[in-house]
Structure formats: structure tokens, C-alpha cells
Amino acid sequence: MTTLHADTGGSVSIDADGHSAEREFIVDDVSGDAAQRLYNALVSGGIPQYGESHPNLPGAQVTSISASPIENSAGQVKITVQYGAPTPEEQAPEETPESAILTISAGTTETTTQKNKDGEALIASITFSDGTTEDRQLVEATVLIPSLTLQFQRKERNNPIWQAIGCTGAVNSQSIGVFAAGTLLCTEIEGTTDDGGRSYNVSYVFQHNPASWKAVLTYVDKDTDKTHADVNLSTGNGVLIADVYPEADFSRLNLDFSFAQWANRF
């Protein structure tokens, strides 16, 4: 019968990827030939197994275990256990908000607007050569607006096909976390399996629009093919605000849109 002789300590480090550690164990009384002794020591009681969490370091789990014989010893084997922050492929399937890896990216997207920064209509005026004036032309400006993208990655037990069908191309039907209803658009849900369907590496991508994903349409003057001069953005005259994306309940995805777990780390 194998006996866990000692946990000889090891090392701990912290870098940009999080906590990592190494622990070493000595196992006594390991039976069998050379190859069998190494395997028997790896699976003996008390040795951390692949995917187990470190007893003290948050976010670190066993990423590799190796066994090597101890020279000039009678049935002793040294076990080296490596801990680190798992990639989505290394994670055990766990569909909890805490198990997802979050990537945030921000950039700009080109669009047009008929309002200034204070929400007031952009009105152009002109004096013609005959001295008459016109100051009721609603005009458009091309602007770059902030675009925030969220990507969650997680290893899950189930095929994400039904989540993909129900949520991709939809906006959040109700407020979720720090985001108001209608401001998150699910642009992609992708799942890949490398173990014959026993688990899936799933990626969820969302794009945020703080002004909501509703379409703002204005009445067009048939003579000029431009927004009609009588359109009034403040009163809504000649303006149609329409829901053009279907809605879905994103809470079914079990993701942390409140960022609570990340906020607690600082």
C-alpha cells in the first residue's frame, strides 16, 4: 500500500496571468515495476489530481502532475504538481458565472447622427443670393462612437446550440448587471468540442450600445430626398423609433454582467 510521506513545499509566484505554484510530494512504499510505481504514486491518496483547486491560491488549479523515481530509495517516488490559471480548454466543465474568462475590448464605430452632444437637433441655416433665408434644414453628421465588446469563454458540459439559436442576433429583454435593457446585442455564440461531445469550449460575444439598439428613422422629403424640414427630434414629429432586433433573456446564459467577481479582486 502506498503511503504519502510528505508534502515538501514548493514555490508560489504571481504574474499577469494570475497565481501559479508548484508543490512536491514524496510517496513511500510504492509497489510494482518501474513504470507501475510511477503511475501508482500519481493516483495514490493525498495527491492533488488534475483540475483540483490550490488550497490557498484563488483561481489556481492543477494543470499538470508528474512522477519521477528517487534514486537510491526503496520504493519512493517524487510527485511534482503544477498549479496555474486554466485556459478555457483546461477548465473542468462548470457553467457558473465565476468560471468564465472575460475579455473586454473597446474601439469606435462610424455612424451618423442628427443630434449634437447635448441631444439637440443639428439645424443648418442658409442665406440665398436673393436675400431670403432658410434655417430649418435638419442635417446629419458622421461621427465615431465608442463601441464596447464583451467576450466570455467557459468550458461547459452541454452543446450550446440552443443558446446560440435563442440569443444570437438578439438584444437583452431586461436590464442585466450594469447594462440597461436593449443595450446589449449578442453577436456570436460559438462552441467547439475536442472530446467527442463530452464538453464544449464556449465563447459568447456581446456588443454594447448605450443609446440602445433601436432604429431611429426620420421622415424624408420626397422633393429633396433628405430629412424633411418639419421633422422635430425633440417632439418626435416625423420620427419613428423602432425595435428592429428580437429580444432574449440573457440571464439564461448564467454570465456575470455585473462584473462583481472582478470588482472584488481590487
The kind and range of the H/E element at 216 are strand 215-218
Distance separating alpha carbons of residues 210 and 179, to the nearest angstrom = 8
* Mean pLDDT estimate for the chain: 81
Cβ contacts of 195 within 8 Å, gap of 6 or more: none
* Domain 3-84 -> CATH class: alpha beta
Kindly report, residue by residue over 162-203, the tens digit of the pLDDT: 999 999 999 999 999 999 999 999 999 999 998 888 889 999
Integer Cα distance of 92 and 199 in angstroms:
9
Taking residues 114-133, report their average pLDDT.
76
Task: Residue count of the chain, please give it.
Answer: 266
More confident: 31 or 187: 187
Cell triple for 10: 514548493
> What is the secondary structure of 157-173 as a DSSP string?
SS-THHHHHHHTT-EES
User: Is the pTM here over 0.75, yes or no?
Assistant: no
- Highest mean pLDDT: which of 59-68, 98-107, 186-195? 186-195
Domain-by-domain residue ranges, the chain?
Answer: 3-84, 97-263
Question: What is the pLDDT at residue 186?
Answer: 96
Distance CA 170, CA 176 (A): 14
Q: Helix or strand or coil: residue 176?
A: strand
pLDDT at 98: 78
Q: Tell me the C-alpha distance between 169 and 91, whole Å.
A: 28
